[in-house]
Structure 1
Amino acid sequence: MAARTQPPWQAPPSRPDLDLPPLHVYNSLTRSKVPFVPIDGKKVSWYACGPTVYDDAHLGHARNYVSTDIIRRIMRDYFKYDVRFVMNITDVDDKIILRGRQQHLLSQYTSEHPELNNEVQETAAEAFAAYVKKNLPLLPQGLKPAEFAEQSKKAYGHVLEGKAVEGDGPPGDKEAKVKMHLKTASSAAEALTLAGANKIDVTDFYTKAEDVFLPHLDSLYGGTINADDHSIFTKLTQKFENRFMEDVRALNCLDPDVVTRVTEYGHQIVSFVEKVVKNGYGYVTADGSVYFDIQAFEKDGNNYARLEPWNRNDKDLLADGEGALTNKSTKKRSDADFALWKSSKPGEPAWPSPWGPGRPGWHIECSAMASDVLGQKMDIHSGGVDLAFPHHDNELAQSEAFWSECRHDKQTHQWVNYFLHMGHLSISGSKMSKSLKNFTTIRDALSRGDWTPRGLRIVFLLGGWKDPVEITEGLVATGAGWEDKINNFFLKIKDLERNPSPENAASAEEDSALAAAFATAQTDVDRALCDSFDTPTAMQVISRLVTDYNSAATRASLSDATALSIGLWVTKMVTIFGLDSEASTPNPNRIGWSGIDIPSAAAPFVYPAAALRDAVRDAAKSGPQALSREAVDALLASQPAPSTTQPADALPYAEAFTQFRADVAALAAASAPPASFLALCDKLRDEVLWALGIYLEDRDTQALPALVRPLSADLIAARAQKDAQAAAKAEAKAKREREEAEKKRLLAEKAKVSHLDMFRTEEYSEWDEEGLPTKDKEGVELPKSRTKKLRKEWERQRKLHEEWKAGKME
């Protein structure tokens, strides 16, 4: 082939015939922001690298898929692009093969060895020794399990204290991996120690020692399994694919339009590899593997490693890209050449190919599947930033090698126009990773209440999609504050819908100022989203607009139309960002998001009860005359009692309303004072409705009706804190009262003693007629200074005793 020069990136032609938004996106291919111009008008073709399904998805995955979903929603619902979103499921690769095989062997072993006998313990000890030797080289050889804790502290204490394995640098992934190995070995050591003392059952033993058993059994028997039985691997992947989809749906991520699976693309992948070889960019090795020829590719004028050229010689990344099961003895033309097709060794699944039984290389799967669904060119390819090299760089090379005959304007084919890479999520400086086992799964985080789907998404929105996110207390607090602010805003606007302001109550000046702030916010959000989906700025703008609303004059000074328009727009934006689990697309007539409405069964009774309570409170504040029997009857008539028959889910709310009406009537009949009516109103708010999950937020300073809202975690926490403070205050008061009572008791006991007898003790030998000492116990006359001091004490006791005798003391 004749040599040709490949531009680093070919900008798509502009489309003046289309009304495209002025959107610029950060493109990893150019490492800069460039105009976004789709290939086909307003249609956007998008391929996203999906999960490798051998374990549950963790919060690091959530970072990738939620951020991707946010951009997808903005493209679809804000910029109105017709997005076709394709995602793959990697259900065969080295990690899956290894994990599936290991789990199969462990299951087989445990079923054949159901008792914790000597053979099992010996095998576990061998597995422990092999694991320590391979992964913890600083520990002494032949280490006994009982000595592990002590020896590991000596060898790796600096790592456990947060220091680097070597040098003085900060800890990172290397140190996280050491901690993982220490934890695994420690668990196995504990299991072996307990087994030696007969203090563990077989189930717990296998659980604690599992992670050392897996590689050991695989080294012994991995090559013996029937690799033609693909169910050994697919039963693992099908389980975790289903769990992955459940997890991302729980995070309110949209389903892909198309899902592709590697195991369903065996024939297409073989055909893809054949064409790459035919085009001169691949070669077959003696073992039946096929490799991409980087030298031939670049000799022909192409650029390899366009995304991260600085990493093209990184041996660790290259090795990771090839996989743990790759045949290291294969005769490759260059160490950097990567596998398109791997010959299958014993214990590995295989598919037929012209080169013999084998399986796809990691990178080829995405090229073949994306090309099959989206064709020779796509708009967007996305994934986590750790995939940029070697995975995406290798995808680019082999795909452009495949499509090399499809050139446009005599230029080399450009397979992807825009690469979007999502930033890492990290904790304590180390990214979350399945291999490091330093992760919290999505389902665990949600089930424990560590995060809510909305709270997690807000945190990602507050950070740039391509920037790393470090989980800190400050970040969590910022996200929670933003959510609480918007939540309260929606509650106010929803209340305005139910309770419109009086006509002609708006102040033109205040209303005009808020309308101007609203217009500015819309412009600023548009500018931010056009600037490579700058959601942090957009979130700040939304927060600022809500502040402007809250800081404006009282609601009566603003027109309902302006406030409702703002409410509708904020609702639209949070829905576009995926923060409303009840709306997959914006509803132009809906205000608010999920979680701010009380149950539908409660509404017919709680809102009338709240209105009646407001009226009773106002009357009580006006004085007794407003609480006459006739006046109260008129109030009750304004909110008629519910019928006696109600659906089961509505019954508790109906009963609460009915009982409140009855209690109000009873107080009126008894001519109760206003304080009794106010106490009853507080009881409805603080006890009755609170127990039903509803709170009435009184707004006396604004002369507004009570705000009806469902209980939230913040409200519950605030109540718990308030109750704790009240309990602490009550206990402090009780303590003071106990101490005061004790003082009085002791004083009363002291008062019973006569002043005439108080000094008649062994400390003195003579006294005068008033009982005052004159000589000490040795017969020495007391000095005048001492006598003067004793006289003062005597006078105080005389007064105290006489008060007691007179009955003036308890």
Structure 2
Amino acid sequence: MSARLCVYVCLCTFVFPAFDYGFLLCISEDALRVETLNEYLSSRSYLVGYGRSQVDAEAFALLCRPLPERHVHALRWYKHIAALNDSCFSAKAKRVQPPWSPPEGTDVSKLHLYNSLTRTKEVFVPQKGNKVLWYCCGPTVYDASHMGHARSYISFDILRRILKDYFKYDVFYCMNVTDIDDKIIKRARQNYLLEQYGEKKPSPSQILQDVLTARTPFKAKLAETTDPDKKQMLERLDAAVDAALGPLQMSVQSNAAGDTLQNQAQVLLEEAKDLLSDWLDSQFGSQVTENSIFSLLPKYWEGEYHKDMEALNVSKLILVNNSIYEVLTLCIVLYFLSARQLRLAFLMHSWKDTLDYSNNTMESAIQYERFINEFFLNVKDILRSPTDITGQFEKWEAEEIELNKSFYEKKTSVHEALCDNIDTRSALEEMRALVGQSNTYMAARRSAKLPPNRMLLQSIALYLTDMLKTFGAIEGSEPIGFPVGGNGQNLESTVMPYLSVLSDFREDVRKIAREKKVTELLRLCDELRDDTLPELGVRLEDRDGLPTSVKLVDKETLLKEREERKKMEDEKKKKKEEAARKKQEQEMAKLAKMKVKPSEMFRSETDKYSNFDETGFPAHDAEGKELSKGLAKKLRKLYEAQEKLYNEYLQSTQNGS
């Protein structure tokens, strides 16, 4: 079946009003005439209509020379008419294009990288076109990895991603892993000897004696250590061993037996395993020669390596071994930080400088993630709000123009930062500033009860998401924000329609409850928001005059927010109760003071005064000397003030208050 699409075009003769260029003749000064023409042509290509006409030719004849550069509109028109003057004005005439010259342009930032040989930043120029061959010296791993290993792996992964995904280099990244080395051989030997020691099931007294023996060379090593970090680590180990030694020594000396003794021995064996294995190696290490003992360790760490690399979102690398043994690499346990938070901590510092592994550093990364995530949640909430197709395309006002200008400035600043030795710290700060400006814009629109520009905020959110993906801080294919859910599932798109229905229903219930003054329903709605939904990773934000905002946030964050909110409410309640208590005490003290008769207020102060007149006012001090005029004047003011208070008290008792 075919269909015919009929399009009806109405061709109407459009009559332009005649251009009266006589006003140009009335202007005697050439400069003023050109300025007037320039203003008229600021919104026109020709004097009349959409093509050159006789009017243009006659007006052109009035101008006897080229126009000044500052009158851009008149100069544009003048050059165009001059180019067409050689051709005859007719429908068949061949149109002549005006002359064109390329723009001067601006300098483009080039990637500069720190050259450790020259100790300066040099322009990065690959040897062969766009291809970059990168060899990275990997770790010599013989035990569980620490934060220093994670720093190397993640930092180089960030640099590789930026070179490949941002600067679009064709990067071939190769890293060696040393899996046979004196340290590795020694650690494999120590592990074997310690395992053999445990299999012999030594008695608690034997364990105690061996640890005390092993502690002697360890103490000597501690005394010789000068590096402050290593010395601190050894001191902590010695303190842990010392704490475990005491209970076992007391039990052995008292001939104790049973499970308590065995447990104390196992605690000591666990705390002292490092110094004990070192001592065992010095005594029996030369006897360990079986090759399989040294191959078991790399085989174990190979599997752990792949797990840790995946957990840290570090891309798979080309690995080169130093021997026949298999890969031996990273094993890091993330207890308090997610892989993203750890990566953000490294991004917020220069990749070539020493990193401060303090709590403040890690807390800054957590706060940065929370700040950026909140922006993403707000933008997605705005984009979910219903609108027709025309509502998505709105005229920009001054606020949108200013934010868009800032958006392009920040993108330029981010690019310049990455060109400057891949300065991710400055790049993240520029991104933070962009989010701050966007938040200010959204807050202003919210206060004015006006919708923000969806397309502008969407563009900013898409850019930030793309940059964080480049840095390896965001996985998945979601266009905006951090992914919600795992195993490749887009949890947000699945559950949000149901949550929106629940939110709308709850809002209707709250509206009816407020109108009917049903406080129990309002309490249940608040309970749903504050207690039930946070346990499911859902945050509802009630806003005056606007629909309730629905956001998917990880459960741990919401529970922490609830705990902090409850803590703040408790502190606020405590302060309120404390203020009420102080106010009551002040009122009680004031009431007690008001009950004192003026004639009695000084009589109790026998350590200060010794003689009083008939009204109870002091006349002499404790030594019997007459009061000075200045002191008497001061006391008289106090007396009169108390007299006023006492009269107020009498008045209140008469009124029954």
Q: What band does the TM-score fall into relative to the shorter chain?
A: 0.5 to 0.7
User: What is the CA distance between 1:579 and its match in structure 2?
Assistant: 0.8
Q: State how 1:356-505 maps to structure 2 within 5 Å.
A: 442-443=332-333, 446-447=334-335, 449=336, 451-472=337-358, 474-499=360-385, 502=391, 505=394
Distance 1:542 1:727, change over 3 A: closer
Q: Is residue 499 of structure 2 the alignment partner of residue 606 of structure 1?
A: yes
Distance 1:697 1:709, change over 3 A: farther
Q: Is residue 516 of structure 2 the alignment partner of residue 699 of structure 1?
A: no
Question: In the alignment, is the contact (CA less than 8 A) between 2:143 and 2:187 conserved in 1?
Answer: no
For residue 62 of structure 1, what is the aligned residue in structure 2?
Answer: 150
Q: Deviations over 1:549-592 (max 9, x none)?
A: 22335275654222212221111101101111x32xxx5x7111
Gaps of 5+ in 1: 1-19, 138-164, 166-172, 267-364, 367-382, 384-433, 435-440, 621-626, 628-666, 749-781
For residue 102 of structure 1, what is the aligned residue in structure 2?
Answer: 190
Q: Is residue 93 of structure 2 the alignment partner of residue 30 of structure 1?
A: no
* Candidates 308, 321, 331, aligned match of 1:261: 321
Question: In the alignment, is the contact (CA less than 8 A) between 2:499 and 2:550 conserved in 1?
Answer: no
Identity, in percent, stands at: 32
Distance 1:514 1:500, change over 3 A: farther
Once residues 121 and 377 of structure 2 are traced to their aligned partners in structure 1, the CA distance between those partners, rounded to angstroms, is 39
Once residues 32 and 803 of structure 1 are traced to their aligned partners in structure 2, the CA distance between those partners, rounded to angstroms, is 85
Question: In the alignment, is the contact (CA less than 8 A) between 1:128 and 1:189 conserved in 2?
Answer: no
Once residues 95 and 716 of structure 1 are traced to their aligned partners in structure 2, the CA distance between those partners, rounded to angstroms, is 45
For residue 390 of structure 1, what is the aligned residue in structure 2?
Answer: none
Structure 1 counterpart of 2:248, which letter? A
For residue 205 of structure 1, what is the aligned residue in structure 2?
Answer: 268
* Candidates 526, 534, 556, aligned match of 1:690: 534
Question: In the alignment, is the contact (CA less than 8 A) between 1:50 and 1:89 conserved in 2?
Answer: yes
Once residues 744 and 598 of structure 1 are traced to their aligned partners in structure 2, the CA distance between those partners, rounded to angstroms, is 59
Q: Deviations over 1:762-788 (max 9, x none)?
A: xxxxxxxxxxxxxxxxxxxx9955699
SS of the residue corresponding to residue 140 of structure 2 reads: coil
Q: State how 1:51-200 maps to structure 2 within 5 Å.
A: 51-117=139-205, 119-136=206-223, 174-198=227-251, 200=261
User: What is the CA distance between 1:73 and its match in structure 2?
Assistant: 1.0
User: What is the CA distance between 1:136 and its match in structure 2?
Assistant: 2.0
SS of the residue corresponding to residue 263 of structure 1 reads: coil
Q: Is residue 445 of structure 2 the alignment partner of residue 554 of structure 1?
A: yes
Q: Is residue 492 of structure 2 the alignment partner of residue 571 of structure 1?
A: no
Once residues 127 and 89 of structure 1 are traced to their aligned partners in structure 2, the CA distance between those partners, rounded to angstroms, is 32
Question: In the alignment, is the contact (CA less than 8 A) between 1:24 and 1:35 conserved in 2?
Answer: yes
Question: In the alignment, is the contact (CA less than 8 A) between 2:133 and 2:171 conserved in 1?
Answer: yes
Q: Is residue 50 of structure 2 the alignment partner of residue 50 of structure 1?
A: no
Once residues 783 and 560 of structure 1 are traced to their aligned partners in structure 2, the CA distance between those partners, rounded to angstroms, is 85
Question: In the alignment, is the contact (CA less than 8 A) between 2:465 and 2:480 conserved in 1?
Answer: yes
Larger Rg: 2
Distance 1:185 1:689, change over 3 A: closer
Question: In the alignment, is the contact (CA less than 8 A) between 1:610 and 1:708 conserved in 2?
Answer: no
Distance 1:178 1:801, change over 3 A: same
Structure 2 counterpart of 1:218, which letter? D
Q: Deviations over 1:455-485 (max 9, x none)?
A: 2211211211112222345544543443233
Structure 2 counterpart of 1:491, which letter? L
Once residues 215 and 803 of structure 1 are traced to their aligned partners in structure 2, the CA distance between those partners, rounded to angstroms, is 87
Question: In the alignment, is the contact (CA less than 8 A) between 2:298 and 2:325 conserved in 1?
Answer: no
Once residues 800 and 531 of structure 1 are traced to their aligned partners in structure 2, the CA distance between those partners, rounded to angstroms, is 78
Once residues 301 and 241 of structure 2 are traced to their aligned partners in structure 1, the CA distance between those partners, rounded to angstroms, is 26
Question: In the alignment, is the contact (CA less than 8 A) between 1:54 and 1:99 conserved in 2?
Answer: yes
TM-score normalized with structure 2 length: 0.64
User: What is the CA distance between 1:802 and its match in structure 2?
Assistant: 14
Once residues 112 and 652 of structure 2 are traced to their aligned partners in structure 1, the CA distance between those partners, rounded to angstroms, is 92
Q: State how 1:272-421 maps to structure 2 within 5 Å.
A: none
Q: Deviations over 1:27-67 (max 9, x none)?
A: 32333333333344333322222232221111111111111
Once residues 265 and 599 of structure 1 are traced to their aligned partners in structure 2, the CA distance between those partners, rounded to angstroms, is 45
* Candidates 551, 569, 577, aligned match of 1:708: 551
For residue 22 of structure 2, what is the aligned residue in structure 1?
Answer: none
Higher helix share: 2
For residue 48 of structure 2, what is the aligned residue in structure 1?
Answer: none
Distance 1:116 1:562, change over 3 A: same
TM-score normalized with structure 1 length: 0.53
SS of the residue corresponding to residue 533 of structure 1 reads: coil
Once residues 527 and 272 of structure 2 are traced to their aligned partners in structure 1, the CA distance between those partners, rounded to angstroms, is 56
Once residues 133 and 677 of structure 1 are traced to their aligned partners in structure 2, the CA distance between those partners, rounded to angstroms, is 72
User: What is the CA distance between 1:674 and its match in structure 2?
Assistant: 7.1
Gaps of 5+ in 2: 1-107, 253-260, 592-611, 619-641
* Candidates 542, 550, 557, aligned match of 2:431: 542
User: What is the CA distance between 1:116 and its match in structure 2?
Assistant: 1.8
Q: Deviations over 1:371-416 (max 9, x none)?
A: xxxxxxxxxxxx9xxxxxxxxxxxxxxxxxxxxxxxxxxxxxxxxx
Question: In the alignment, is the contact (CA less than 8 A) between 1:62 and 1:442 conserved in 2?
Answer: yes
Once residues 498 and 251 of structure 1 are traced to their aligned partners in structure 2, the CA distance between those partners, rounded to angstroms, is 32
Question: In the alignment, is the contact (CA less than 8 A) between 1:46 and 1:85 conserved in 2?
Answer: yes
Q: Which has the higher contact order (CA 8 A, sep 6+)?
A: 1
Structure 2 counterpart of 1:262, which letter? N
For residue 291 of structure 2, what is the aligned residue in structure 1?
Answer: 229
Distance 1:710 1:802, change over 3 A: same
For residue 410 of structure 1, what is the aligned residue in structure 2?
Answer: none
SS of the residue corresponding to residue 469 of structure 1 reads: coil
Q: Deviations over 1:270-315 (max 9, x none)?
A: xxxxxxxxxxxxxxxxxxxxxxxxxxxxxxxxxxxxxxxxxxxxxx
Structure 2 counterpart of 1:611, which letter? D
For residue 594 of structure 1, what is the aligned residue in structure 2?
Answer: 483
Distance 1:452 1:785, change over 3 A: same
Structure 2 counterpart of 1:175, which letter? P
For residue 631 of structure 2, what is the aligned residue in structure 1?
Answer: none
Decide which moves more: 120-129 or 69-78.
120-129
Q: Deviations over 1:141-186 (max 9, x none)?
A: xxxxxxxxxxxxxxxxxxxxxxxx9xxxxxxx71222333333344
Once residues 122 and 88 of structure 1 are traced to their aligned partners in structure 2, the CA distance between those partners, rounded to angstroms, is 43
Question: In the alignment, is the contact (CA less than 8 A) between 1:696 and 1:709 conserved in 2?
Answer: no
Question: In the alignment, is the contact (CA less than 8 A) between 2:207 and 2:265 conserved in 1?
Answer: no
Question: In the alignment, is the contact (CA less than 8 A) between 2:179 and 2:325 conserved in 1?
Answer: no
Q: Deviations over 1:484-526 (max 9, x none)?
A: 3311221122123211553565434333333333333333322
Once residues 714 and 177 of structure 1 are traced to their aligned partners in structure 2, the CA distance between those partners, rounded to angstroms, is 36
User: What is the CA distance between 1:737 and its match in structure 2?
Assistant: 7.3
User: What is the CA distance between 1:97 and its match in structure 2?
Assistant: 0.8
SS of the residue corresponding to residue 33 of structure 1 reads: strand
User: What is the CA distance between 1:98 and its match in structure 2?
Assistant: 0.8
Distance 1:677 1:503, change over 3 A: farther
Once residues 164 and 529 of structure 2 are traced to their aligned partners in structure 1, the CA distance between those partners, rounded to angstroms, is 43
Once residues 32 and 212 of structure 1 are traced to their aligned partners in structure 2, the CA distance between those partners, rounded to angstroms, is 44
Question: In the alignment, is the contact (CA less than 8 A) between 1:463 and 1:536 conserved in 2?
Answer: yes
Structure 2 counterpart of 1:41, which letter? G
User: What is the CA distance between 1:693 and its match in structure 2?
Assistant: 2.5
Once residues 611 and 564 of structure 1 are traced to their aligned partners in structure 2, the CA distance between those partners, rounded to angstroms, is 24
* Candidates 388, 404, 424, aligned match of 1:515: 404
Q: Deviations over 1:697-732 (max 9, x none)?
A: 23337x454242325656544432332232244345
